[in-house]
Amino acid sequence: MTQQDIQVQDGQELREAKKYFSYHLLEWYQGQKRDLPWRRHRNPYYIWISEIMLQQTRVDTVIPYFNRFIERFPTVESLADAPEEDVLKCWEGLGYYSRARNIQHAAKQVKELYGGQVPNDREAVFSLKGVGPYTAGAILSIAFNRPEPAVDGNVMRVLSRYFLIEDDIAKGPTRVKMERLAAELIPEGEAASFNQALMELGALVCTPKSPRCLTCPVMEHCAARLAGCETSLPVKTKAKPPRPEERLAALIEGRGAHAGQVLIRQRPQSGLLARMWELPHWPAPHGEGGAKGARLPEAAALDRLRRSLWEAGISARPEKHWMAAEHIFSHIVWTLQVYRCSEEDALPLPIAAEGRAVYNADADLFSGIDSSMPIERFEDGTASPEDGGAVRWISREDMANYAFPNVFLKLLNLYFDEQEERAKLEQ
């Protein structure tokens, strides 16, 4: 057999394998597809919202968020016109909050440029904020049945295994190759079902750690299974681990007029978790022996926190360690050491003497700070009075009016639970 004959034979085998894959996957999907709220309509707006929510998030988690979101913002216009605070509140707990901001920005684009209708046009969909190649492909194929590939990590895993592709899926050229392959596999007129079938196979059967090959509709021709290497695919270079950052947080309990309340502050207008609400917190210097990530001794932490509060113009006294909590971003992990602090009637003397902000519970704490004073600046800008937002005293009921990142939501709920428990015992 000549080299050319071998290539022809290989080409034929590959064509057969592709045909087999498309046919059996589609057939399997028709019988096995899950009943998901966004699958009950071909509404492009619903499909778009669901695809953004599903990024980095499990289907079970997304369902209640999706239902609430659509109930609150049933149309592109209602989302475009809503206060950002409401959109963030609806997203609260889902994480990756820039997704919520981008969705609203894109809704405004759709309202202004396309009369509130998600466009059935590749360039137009791509130009929407927060819409990358995967989401664009998903919207165009699922909502409009256009033969566009929708390739994410799940799909790349399935294709790497079925076709035994050993290229690194973290690399751009591999994604391009996968997109070309995925586009070739779409049977004519079946883009919507086929792309969802591929996603469904990755989610339910060809899972990352233990693929269920024995129940897989395409197992007969799966090259990785035949070679016994399905669990070592796909090849993916590890991303850099997130950088750990130790922070000191203040849970400030109110007194007098603020009894039963805690102090929260709004994050800066841009950057990480922009405009969301949190307990005040600052980076901690390195702990024991100057080691990175080591916890600061209690006395030093209290001292440092007191200084940070002082610099922010917040009149509170740190008292004792309450608990540690973690917030994981893709590039950074905060370990928050949370200290209980009590509200003080006035700022400590050194601040008053230097003419810094006079604490007023109902006003923006940062607004009165003398900008000529040296203010410590931190990496993410949280202690910068120029960028910082308002502060508020809140009770548990008030939490409904503010959007918090997960870690602060949990901490606040835990604190108010504790308080309620204590009040019951004291009765």
Is 34 or 41 the residue whose CB approaches ligand SF4 more closely? 34
Is 62 or 218 the residue whose CB approaches ligand SF4 more closely? 218
Query: Does residue number 225 form part of the binding site for ligand SF4 (CB under 6 A)?
Result: yes
Position among 89, 161, 175, 247 found at the interface with ligand SF4 (CB under 6 A) = 161
Q: Which of 16, 27, 51, 426 is catalytic?
A: 51
Q: How far is the CB of 38 from ligand SF4 (least distance, A)?
A: 25
Angle at 28 between CA 23 and CA 30, to 5 degrees: 100
Is 224 or 316 the residue whose CB approaches ligand SF4 more closely? 224
What's the CA dihedral at 304, 305, 307, 311 to 10 degrees?
Answer: 140
Query: Does residue number 340 form part of the binding site for ligand SF4 (CB under 6 A)?
Result: no
In the Cβ-directed half-sphere of 203, how many Cα atoms lie within 13 Å? 18
Is 228 or 241 the residue whose CB approaches ligand SF4 more closely? 228
Please indicate whether residue 27 is annotated as part of the active site. Answer: no
Query: Does residue number 28 form part of the binding site for ligand SF4 (CB under 6 A)?
Result: no
Two tokens at 316?
Answer: 């509170």
Angstrom CA distances, 184 to 179, 191, 338, stand at: 9, 11, 54
Strand ranges, E, within 241-297: 243-253, 262-266, 277-278, 281-283
Instruction: With H, G, I as helix, E, B as strand and everything else as coil, classify residue 338.
Output: strand
Is 203 or 409 the residue whose CB approaches ligand SF4 more closely? 203
x-marked contacts with ligand SF4 along 188-207 as a string, rule CB under 6 A: -----------------xx-
Q: How far is the CB of 93 from ligand SF4 (least distance, A)?
A: 32
Number of neighbours of residue 41 by Cβ within 10 angstroms: 12
Binding part of the chain for ligand SF4, among 185-193, 224-232, 321-329, 373-381 by CB under 6 A, reads: 224-232
Q: How far is the CB of 205 from ligand SF4 (least distance, A)?
A: 5
The alpha-helical segments, DSSP class H, found in 268-405 are 298-312, 349-353
Q: How far is the CB of 217 from ligand SF4 (least distance, A)?
A: 8
Rounded Cα distance between 162 and 158, Å, is 6
Q: What is the DSSP letter of 143?
A: I
Binding part of the chain for ligand SF4, among 212-220, 333-341, 346-354, 383-391 by CB under 6 A, reads: 212-220
Number of neighbours of residue 258 by Cβ within 10 angstroms: 16
Q: What is the DSSP letter of 96?
A: -
Binding part of the chain for ligand SF4, among 211-219, 274-282, 320-328, 367-375 by CB under 6 A, reads: 211-219
Position among 186, 191, 222, 391 found at the interface with ligand SF4 (CB under 6 A) = 222
Query: Does residue number 156 form part of the binding site for ligand SF4 (CB under 6 A)?
Result: no
Angle at 134 between CA 128 and CA 135, to 5 degrees: 40
Position among 44, 211, 254, 280 found at the interface with ligand SF4 (CB under 6 A) = 211
Is 159 or 399 the residue whose CB approaches ligand SF4 more closely? 159
Structural element, H or E, at residue 320: strand 316-328
Mode of pairing for the β-strands spanning 332-343 and 243-253? parallel
Instruction: With H, G, I as helix, E, B as strand and everything else as coil, classify residue 168.
Output: strand
- Binding interface with ligand SF4 (CB under 6 A): 158, 161-162, 205-206, 211-213, 216, 218-219, 222, 224-225, 230
Give the residue numbers marked as catalytic: 51
